[in-house]
Chain A
Amino acid sequence: MPKKIRVLIAKPGLDGHDRGAKVIARALRDAGMEVIYTGLRQTPEDIVEAAIQEDVDAIGLSCLSGAHMVLFPDVVKLLKKRRAGDILVAGGGIIPEDDVPKLKKAGIKAVFGPGTPLSDVVAFFQKAGKAKGA
């Protein structure tokens, strides 16, 4: 049996809007992945620690408070520092269009805005998992 894809869904910063993160967590689980949900108010350090401990293939970050430009890149930087740069990072939330290229440049592989079909998000993590040999 192939190894299940493991994904960490995380809420960085203070933002309490968890509707999207929970819907994504459930959609990934229904698509057969192992999902670990961090809960709210995680620092980038907490998230990276959890990702390494849980040996995940990818991380999905959700932020609707507007703090994504600081918090998302911090997660990527810390992963590299911890030699876990092979863990892919995607993000979603209330993210203005002109922030998207900047986030991609900072190493966020995909940015999912409001109205993204769940199937697109599932496909991204499936591909991410396969690339890591899961």
Chain B
Amino acid sequence: MTDAEDLKALEARLKRWEETSLKDSLKALPERRATFVTTSSRPVRRLYTPLDLAGKSAAERLGEPGEYPFTRGIHPTMYRGRLWTMRMFAGYGSAEDTNRRFKYLIDHGETGLSVAFDMPTLYGYDTDAKEAKGEFGTCGVAVSSLEDMEILFRGIDVGEVSTSMTINSPASVTWAMYLAMAEKRGVPLTKLRGTIQNDILKEYEAQKEWIFPPEASMRLVVDTFEFGAKQVPQWNTISISGYHIREAGATAAQELAFTLANGMEYVRWGIDRGLRVDDFAPRLSFFFNAHNDLFEEIAKYRAARRIWAREMRDTFAAKSPRSWLLRTHAQTAGVSLTAQQPEVNIVRTTIQALAAVLGGTQSLHTNSYDEAYQVPNEKAVRVALRTQQILAHESGVANTVDPLGGSYYLEALTDELEEEAYRTFDRIQELGGVIPAIRKGYFQQEIANSAYRYQREIEDKERTIVGVNDFVVDEQPEVERLKVSEASYRAQLERLKRTRKTRDAQKHARALDRLRNGCEGDDNTMPLILDAVRARATLGETCDVMREVFGVWEEPLLY
């Protein structure tokens, strides 16, 4: 029989099934609701069969693992060869506080580092800036100077470990501090491995940690591409992030489409600068959310790899298969954590982490159960790390490549998300591209609309959140408090003062002047920033120079 004959026979069988078994079943027991939807309100059909995949070639859609279009994963053996990197996002208080947390995590089996910075650092302010009032170390570590960076990695072999730094607008300055720290220890830049998030587009769209206007920011990003490709070849100079887009309220489909649209925008800017696509594309990395809906999330990762491979190969004419690969980090959905019955968050996080692993992620952060209250305490962090270790070593899901590939539901969902992403790309194109769409508030409004719809669904009990709008108990949750100490704050202020007093004032002033000139012209800013950091310019001072030259972004107000 041919495939077409098979499908015809299946169609006939399904028709019979609908008229008999299904009909009787529905009569005896009607379905629980009229329509079933995913976490992103995408309708889900009762049954998926080969008919949902008809007319599409499995060879083209899936390929083989480690081969174009990488739907089944970027490595031929996936986790049989090497497990994903267990990389816990961590940071609070001072560099000393966070250095202790890093060592605690390494002692418990973490395999990569990930730095969470505090709000002032994320906005390019020093701890002693007036804008930083009340914000020291509350949601990450304060790193205002090269000294802070040196303390942060004290006793950690930066030539061995890979370090991810979640920093965007001031990313080039923070990266320069890391490079200068390694340089002082005698570790060659070519040996350094890690990632700076450096994804400014999603800042305007979702996370809102912007400083400069889009064009100046994009220039700084491309400067890091160019510098990294030559000087720090093992470093991922960007992590193109859907995570925050999702956390801000987007659906899975919007997360997928906006992130890849941003990714392609970076590629265009790189090419416009005159870089060869195959020189910088292999260092572009990604970061996606892992939310509640298991299959929708897995489909999202698979669709992302397929779209990226196609666009890189066909639209941007990348020749190297390394440029086609979408390598990604994943993090479970912070926004899904509940303050009510917080220990139940461990279960949510487990399911979300499972989605990321079944989706083929390269590294993973699992959230801690107390994060609806605070930056996590030690015990909560350990449970979160253990969750990954159980998935890796006990669940059996890492034993085979893409275990769910071929599931009719999963494949249909993957195709649907892909099609929807292309419709969104067209819409962005109609608006003039990513940056004009940001100026028009397109992404921001779409995200706000989805966030509001989701909240209304919870409010109207169309969507059940366990412990929040159903299965509620009246009890005071017990969460051990993690507090940032006043002593850390005072020590940090002291250190900054000392830095400003003991550095070579002339060298410092000259380095900042050269940076100002460079910013006004069109030199690559990275070497100039690195020199400023070597001259012990602080984060705030360096960013102030750039604020003066580039100005500051003001976002369109909408809700």
Contacts and interface: CB of A to CB of B under 8 A. Distances in A.
Contacts of A16: 203, 207-209
B133 interface: yes
8 contacts: A14-B132, A14-B135, A19-B249, A22-B448, A27-B452, A39-B555, A97-B479, A114-B337
Interface string B447-461: 010011001100100
B131 interface: yes
Interface in A47-92: 64-67, 69-71
B134 A71 contact: yes
A66 B139 contact: yes
Which of A40, A67, A95, A97 lies at the interface centre, i.e. has the most chain B CB atoms within 10 A of its CB?
A67
Contact of B134 (A13, A17, A119): A13
B524 interface: no
A117 B451 contact: no
B481 A67 contact: no
B54 interface: no
Interface string A16-43: 1111011101110000000101011100
A96 interface: yes
A115 B468 contact: yes
Contact of B455 (A23, A67, A97, A113): A23
Contacts of A40: 208, 555
B372 A37 contact: no
A69 B134 contact: yes
Given A97-B477, A115-B465, A67 B372 contact: no
B138 interface: yes
B134 A113 contact: no
Contacts of A17: 208, 247-248
B340 A19 contact: no
Interface string B339-380: 110000000000000000000000000000001111100000
A13 B119 contact: yes
A114 B338 contact: yes
Contacts, number: 108
A62 to B, nearest CB: 12
A14 B119 CA distance: 6
B123 interface: yes
A119 B459 contact: yes
Contact of A15 (B119, B465, B469): B119
B471 interface: no
B373 A97 contact: yes
A14 B459 contact: no
Which of A27, A96, A115 lies at the interface centre, i.e. has the most chain B CB atoms within 10 A of its CB?
A115
A117 B469 contact: yes
Nearest to A117: B459
B557 A39 contact: yes
B120 interface: yes
A97 B481 CA distance: 9
Interface string A109-127: 0000111011100000000
Interface string B464-479: 0101110000001101
Which of A13, A14, A67 lies at the interface centre, i.e. has the most chain B CB atoms within 10 A of its CB?
A14
Contacts of A18: 208, 248
A23 B119 contact: no
Nearest to B447: A19
Interface residues of A, number: 37
Given A13-B134, A14-B131, A65 B459 contact: no
Contacts of A14: 119-120, 122-123, 125, 131-132, 135
A15 B134 CA distance: 11
A118 B459 contact: yes
A36 B479 CA distance: 35
B22 interface: no
B335 interface: yes
Contacts of B338: 114-115
Given A67-B133, A97-B477, 6 more contacts: A13-B119, A14-B122, A18-B208, A39-B557, A41-B131, A65-B139
Which of B125, B134, B203, B459 lies at the interface centre, i.e. has the most chain A CB atoms within 10 A of its CB?
B134
Contacts of A23: 249, 448, 451-452, 455
Interface string B277-292: 0000000000000000
A67 B133 CA distance: 8
A37 B469 CA distance: 27
Interface string B168-200: 000000000000000000000000000000000
A94 B335 CA distance: 11
Nearest to A22: B559
Contacts of A65: 119, 135, 138-139
B348 to A, nearest CB: 13
A39 B558 CA distance: 8
A97 B479 CA distance: 9
Interface in B394-443: none
A40 B456 CA distance: 24
Contacts of A115: 338-340, 372, 465, 467-468
A25 B559 contact: yes
A94 B452 contact: no
Contacts of B456: 118
Given A19-B247, A22-B451, A22-B559, A113 B131 contact: no
A19 B557 CA distance: 13
